[in-house]
Structure 1
Amino acid sequence: MARRVRSGQAGAALVIAMGTLAAACAAPGSNSPQPAATGTSSQPTSQSAAPTCGTAPITMNGYFETGFPLPKALTTEFSKQHPNVTWNIREDQFAVITQNAPRVLADNPPDLMRLPQVSELVKDNLLKNLDGYAQAFGWDKWPASQLEQLRLGPGGRPRGEGSLYALGLNFSMTGVFYNKKLAAQIGMSTPPATLAELDAALAKAKDAGITPIVQFNGGATGGLAFPLQNLMAAYGPPGPINDWIFQKPGATIDTPSNLQAVQHLERWVKAGYFQKDVNAVDYATMMSRFIDGQGLFMFNGDWESGNLDKQMAGNVGFSLMPPAQQGGKQAAMSAPLTFGIAANAKNADCAAFFLNWVATDQKARDVGVEVGGSHPMGPADAYMPKVSSDTVTASTLAAGADIAKDNGAMDFIANATGAIYAKSWTPNLQKLVGGQQTPQELLKAVQADYFGQIEGN
């Protein structure tokens, strides 16, 4: 069931970072769409001034992912600073959003929406082109890498270039969280430096009666894709994986290094390093088990850093996936929490103003780091809040800097097409766990599904 939340001061809802804005400052006759009315003025947005939320009462409609505190914290602070703005938020699990996105954007267009993969949504003209807003607010002067994954060519492909159709509340990254108390029980005082050291820690945990990895893989959007992509990063470079995700011609996921990654994941499964019911575990259950101390490691994103600093203060460590060889470069899934503005959004200008506020307001950036646990988007020289060195948030921020230095950022393999996560990665990984599919068969099946979905569009 979808849950609706109304709030004046507290505006509710999760991952609303990206509700990007549409061409607010497009010149007359340009190809960029003109801004939608905000409900605050009947006059069109001026070319000389960026849009705002005005001063008249306005209710923002959002469709967000349930289970994450950052968007709610940001909307709460936004309404404190802009009391004329209230929020009407619908929340669903990401798997439901993935299925509902086209219908919701077409039939009941929200001002801001947590987005699944965006290529098909752009192809079907369901999202606003944000180029005008980027010019008005100066987003095009931010580091180009922040926006690359959110740019799409005509008709929704290729990704990585073209017009801007989304933004993120922050730049998130996946890696390996670990329980420090359980780590001490197996003599682990620092994170594993190589994949072999990680394997050794997993074996020691199992021998000690500790569940080595708490992970989710139930439902339509399973979580074994997280450790799998981390293993892909350990065995091979990120470039070919990004090419596949961005639908570059000739790209394939069925490569020798990715086969090594799937084979390694299969060895973990067969060794009993995941809980026996992993195919039935959802995200919330995984988080509950990890917080309760029921497992040593968890592959997850830095969006949980703030939560873990509160729930397990001083007892959580974080590291990037160790490379296969000592001293090797590290890579990780690092991408914005994607939000967009519906093509027919009523309050697009206010949505754009909110997104710009998230990236540039000092208090908003404080909230982004303290609650979200990851690096805010925005100008390269923007204010960054200080973080205590003994927190997991400090570790995730430092890891993000390492990824940037090594140019090791990858988009999420679930973002290659709109259906690849729910209809290929998840069911194929569930079959792998169940012993119904080999690593070779998994990669060939995913590649075939990928090709069919691209050709079908």
Structure 2
Amino acid sequence: MRQSPRALALVAGIAVALLTLAGCAPGSSNAGQAASGSVSTTLTTKKVTIKIQDETGFPVTSDLAKEFTKQHPNVTFKVVRDSFQNLIANAPRLMASADAPDLIRLPTLGSTVKDGLLTNLDPYFTAYGWDKFPAGQLAGSRMTKAGVRGEGSLWQFGLGYSVTGIYMNQKLADKVGITSIPATIDELEADLQKAKDAGVLPIQTGMQDGVGTFVLQALINQYGDKSKLIDWMFNKSGATFDTDASLKGATTFQDWATKGYLPPDVNAINYTTMVANFTGGQGLFMWDGNWDAANVDKALGKGGAQFFLMPPATKGGKYVAMGAGNTFAVPAKSKNQDTTAYFLNWIATNEKARQIVVDVTGASPGGDPSQKLPSVEKGSLIEKALELSSKVAADDGFTDFIANTTAGIYQGALQPDEQLLLTDKMAPDAFVKAIQAFYVKDLAAQ
């Protein structure tokens, strides 16, 4: 995308509070492995190949690797990719292998800390001065030896910080007579019905691989106290998914399916197909993240789509949205821990690297809030996404993704049970209880 030289003054505060969840300084957890010996912040002069295990559809690591090698020719990269769900399932095995990657996309910590599969990044936190980063930015990447997230030692590092919202096809919005962004869930539902009455698919989403969870959580976020949901996601003692907010969110989600607001073959649509369908003109709305801003802009053209936050339940209510770091971890068996940590610090501090993160993912680069923010094209969806992130941050409204709650909950409960929910094969109250039951079982197994 061609860039404007204009700096993003309007989002000057976004890096300060992208994840305004409670954070703390490095803890005393001894689980996992500390970086071997005394760490070095000097880049090696030897020839090194860094192996990155990443998910399909997240190209930023390749772009960052190319730029890093351009600046430091002695360091090259091998990037291996797999689907998100396969990566989650296979991550422990990959990290335990003799040929473990040096850096792995790891959205969920699960039992990896307790099992000693990760490098404790506390020494690098100190050596590189990551205490300059907002504490909340790293909170979700911390875990205690008791398995509680949000505190303790640092085990992950984010490559850009996301925000989720709703994309709207402007051509279809004009067709059905929508002239403004909905300010409440009731107004949103009125727009869904307008689209249905006009013969336009209201919501493009899919549940084959669980991407419809974006819609479900967006509803739950608006119906209750986000701190209770965060406590549950961070595995705090006594926290539960079995709440009025979860029940209302699940009930509404099922109701939307019953009313025909979702694709009739929703359980056969995966993430890639969802995005392709939406950019191909199938669907008025799509719940998705800022990482697809550039794709949507390119497919529908400038002004062809809008991106807005999930509206609150009541007009004037605070915004709540999913947003987290695109988290990676350094396996304990990495043979290049210092070089990999240097690469991570470079991503957060180097001007060209930060620009790549914004250009490719539409996400804030995070890091020290005193650093200059990258520029973006005026009027682009990436510019809008960064503006929305600032709004959520101002409302202290960020939450993690419920799919990251435990190692197995995405594939083992959310994906299959939402498929049942959307086809009326599971009642909302049974769904909520089933998710909580799986959560308890999964935590006990860790």
Q: Does 1:339 align with 2:328?
A: yes
* Structure 2 residue corresponding to 1:113, chosen from 86, 95, 104: 104
Partner of 1:250: 238
Q: In the aligned structure 2, how far is the partner of 1:299 from the partner of 1:350?
A: 37
Q: Distance in 2 between matches of 1:119 and 1:440?
A: 26
Deviation (angstroms), 1:31 = 9.6
Aligned to 2:164: 174
Aligned to 2:12: none
Q: In structure 2, which of residues 276, 292, 295 is the aligned counterpart of residue 288 of structure 1? A: 276
Deviations, residues 300-342 of structure 1 (Å, cap 9, x unaligned): 1111112222232311211110001100011011111110000
Name the CA distance, whole Å, in 1 between partners of 2:298 and 2:212: 26
The residue number in structure 2 matching 1:84 is 74
Counterpart of 1:122 in structure 2 is: 113
Q: What is the CA-CA distance between 1:189 and the residue it aligns to?
A: 3.0
Matched, 1:263 2:251: yes
* Cross-structure match for 2:364: 375
CA contact (8 A) 2:202 2:261 kept: yes
1:434 is matched with: 423
Equivalent positions of 1:43-54 (< 5 A) are 50-52=41-43, 54=44
Q: Give 3-state SS (helix, strand or coil) of 2:357's partner.
A: helix
CA contact (8 A) 1:233 1:332 kept: yes
Per the alignment, residue 71 of structure 1 pairs with: 61
Aligned to 1:300, the other structure's residue is in SS state: strand
Map residues 190-339 of structure 1 onto 2, 5 A cutoff.
190-219=180-209, 222-314=210-302, 315-339=304-328
3-state SS, counterpart of residue 54 of structure 2: strand
Query: Does the CA-based 8 Å contact 1:97-1:116 persist in structure 2?
Result: no
Normalising to structure 1: TM-score of the pair? 0.88
More relative contact order, 1 or 2 (CA 8 Å, 6+ apart)? 2
1:130-166 deviation per Cα after TM superposition (whole angstroms, max 9, x unaligned): 00001111112210010000000015x1100000000
Q: Work out whether residues 33 and 117 of structure 2, in 8 Å CA contact, stay in contact via their aligned partners in 1.
A: no
Alignment match, 2:123? 132
User: 1:185 corresponds to which residue?
Assistant: 175
2:102 and 2:336 in contact (8 A); partners too: yes
Aligned equivalents of 1:205, 1:56: Cα separation in 2: 60
Q: Is the 8 A contact 1:158 1:246 kept in 2?
A: yes
Residue ranges of structure 1 left out of the alignment (5+ in a row): 1-25, 37-43
For structure 1, which segment, 264-273 or 115-124, has the greater mean C-alpha deviation from structure 2 after superposition?
115-124
Q: Which amino acid aligns with 1:353?
A: Y
Q: CA deviation at 1:45?
A: 5.2
Give how far 1:434 is off.
1.7
Corresponding position of 2:10: none
- Moved beyond 3 Å, runs of 4+: 30-36
Which residue type is aligned with residue 372 of structure 2?
A: Y
CA contact (8 A) 1:45 1:51 kept: no
**1:31–1:248 CA distance, 2 compared to 1 (3 A):** closer
Q: Shift of the alpha carbon at 1:33?
A: 5.1
Cα distance in 2, alignment partners of residues 34 and 91 from structure 1: 27
Match of 1:4 in 2: none
Percent pairwise identity: 42
Alpha-carbon distance, 1:389 to partner: 3.4
Give the Cα–Cα distance (whole angstroms) in 2 for the partners of residues 154 and 160 of structure 1.
12
Query: Contact between 2:149 and 2:235, CA under 8 Å: does it hold in 1?
Result: yes
Alignment: residue pair count: 416
Matched to 1:103, the amino acid is R
TM-score normalised according to structure 2 size: 0.90
State the distance in 2 between where 1:116 and 1:399 align. Answer: 23
Question: Do the aligned partners of residues 73 and 120 (structure 1) sit closer, same or farther apart at CA in structure 2, a change above 3 Å counting?
Answer: same
Aligned residue number for residue 40 of structure 1: none
Consecutive unaligned residues of structure 2, counting only runs of 5 or more, are: 1-25
Q: Distance in 1 between matches of 2:285 and 2:101?
A: 37
What is the distance in 2 between the residues matched to 1:265 and 1:331?
17
Which residue of structure 2 aligns with residue 18 of structure 1? Answer: none
Question: Could you tell me how far apart the structure 1 residues matched to 2:63 and 2:193 are?
Answer: 40
Which residue identity is paired with 2:381?
Answer: V
Deviations 1:18-68 (A, max 9, x none): xxxxxxxx9xxx9995545xxxxxxx656xx6242x222211111100112
2:119 alignment partner, SS class = coil
1:352 aligns with 2:338: no
Where 2:113 maps in the other structure, the secondary structure is helix
